[in-house]
Amino acid sequence: MGKKSTLSAEQRAQIVLRLLSKEEPAVQIARRAGISEQTLYRWRDEFLSGGKQALSGRGGGQSEQAKTIERLKSELAERDQVIGEITIANRILKKLSDELS
């Protein structure tokens, strides 16, 4: 198994875009990037697959980050509800306490 690339996602995207725009042969692009042609074509396939998912409109292209954001929003809404319930209970107890004093 080969070594893991040190290129960022942005750099990989730029390399794949150069391949797709046919600026130069795949061999040259791969050589300049320090990767194999096989890796270049795998990145291209992953890039195009991600694009298809994003355009499908079914949420199939939802990234892990987007899923995490949705989960956190849900947790925050739940906490807001609990805080609201506690606030109401606190007001009721305070009102009862004032009436007993």
Cα R_g (the chain), whole angstroms = 26
Q: How many CA within 13 A on the CB side of residue 7?
A: 17
- Measured CA to CA, the distance from residue 101 to residue 92 in angstroms comes to 14
Please give the residue that has the higher pLDDT: either 30 or 51: 30
Crossing angle for the helix pair 9-20 and 26-33, to the nearest 10 degrees: 160
Regarding pTM above 0.85, the answer is no
Question: CB–CB of 36/2 below 8 Å?
Answer: yes
What are 40-96's pLDDT values in tens digits? 999 999 888 887 666 555 555 567 788 889 999 999 999 999 999 999 999 999 999
Residue 97 CB coordination number (10 Å):
9
Question: Do residues 40 and 32 make contact, with C-beta atoms less than 8 angstroms apart?
Answer: no
